């Protein structure tokens, strides 16, 4: 009998629920983070060079994520004792960091399989390089998948979270290469009079939205308290 294909949850699905041990204690995911956005990212194993650089950069930027009400949660296919040894090594590196966000123990690959992170035709865990951006209602809003040799762009992940929150709060869409403070896209005009006011094609309606307006809406806002 062929192996059952791993099914990855899709954008718009509720994040699959699980309990797991982590470097910060037992986690009930995503329940423990209701009311916060979550960046849930996975790694193939501990002590890998690319993943080490990502952990350091995530920690360096953790306050920026906190400002946009976002919790970081890492996962690696390994035992908790190995995780702790890896984090200790990262902390003692000259350019390292003390990792404060949780790293989940997934030695049996239960979470990796639950989230469809392992390709059924791959014999090792090197396919486990995913990022799930999950909103404050535990809905998956974006999924990124990386090869083992390519480090994640942490700035892009922050940009995506900010963009999704901006779209939600203001009822707009986000154009290519957008950064906070750039023009956003409004719904297309629904009357001929409004259409003729557009300086761009009728279906492409830009709207100014300042950094101050965005920050007032999304920064330091806890939508649901535990």
Quick one: pLDDT at residue 18?
97
Q: pTM higher than 0.85, yes or no?
A: yes
- Residue 124: the pLDDT is 59
The reply to whether 125 and 148 lie within a common domain is: yes
**DSSP symbols for the chain:** -PPPPPPPP-TTSBPPPEEE-BTTS-EEETGGGTTSEEEEEEESSTT-HHHHHHHHHHHHTHHHHHHTTEEEEEEESS-HHHHHHHHHHHHHSTT-----S-EEE-TT-HHHHHTT-S-TT-SSSTT--EEEEE-TTSBEEEEEE--TT----HHHHHHHHHHHHHHHHHT-B--TT--TTS-EEEPPPSSHHHHHH-SS-TT-EEE---HHHHHHHHTT--SS--
The structural domain count of the chain equals: 2
Question: Would you name the residues annotated as active-site residues?
Answer: 51
117 in a domain, yes or no?
Answer: yes
Asked whether residue 226 is assigned to any structural domain, the reply reads no
- Shared domain for 143 and 173, answered yes or no, is no
Structural domain containing residue 169: 164-218
pLDDT tier, 1 (very low <50, low <70, confident <90, very high otherwise): very low
Q: What pLDDT shows up at residue 147?
A: 87
pLDDT of residue 127: 52
């Amino acid at each position: 009998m062929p192996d059952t294909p791993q099914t990855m949850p899709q954008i718009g699905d509720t994040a699959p629920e699980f309990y797991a041990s982590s470097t910060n204690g037992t986690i009930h995911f995503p329940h423990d983070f209701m009311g916060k956005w979550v960046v849930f990212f996975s790694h193939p194993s501990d002590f890998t060079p690319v993943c080490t650089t990502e952990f350091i950069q995530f920690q360096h930027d953790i306050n920026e994520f906190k400002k946009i009400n976002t919790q970081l949660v890492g996962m690696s296919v390994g035992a908790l004792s190995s995780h702790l040894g890896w984090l200790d090594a990262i902390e003692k590196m000259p350019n390292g960091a003390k990792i404060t966000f949780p790293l989940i123990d997934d030695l049996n690959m239960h979470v990796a399989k639950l989230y469809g992170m392992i390709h059924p035709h791959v014999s090792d865990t090197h396919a486990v390089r995913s990022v799930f951006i999950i909103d404050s209602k535990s809905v998956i809003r974006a999924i990124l998948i990386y090869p083992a040799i390519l480090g994640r762009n942490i700035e892009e992940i922050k940009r995506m979270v900010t963009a999704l929150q901006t779209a939600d709060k203001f009822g707009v869409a986000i154009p290519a290469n957008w950064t906070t403070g750039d023009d956003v896209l409004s719904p297309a005009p629904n009357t001929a009079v409004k259409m003729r006011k557009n300086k761009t094609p009728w279906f492409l309606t830009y709207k100014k939205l300042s950094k101050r307006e965005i920050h007032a809406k999304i920064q330091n806002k806890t939508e649901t308290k535990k």
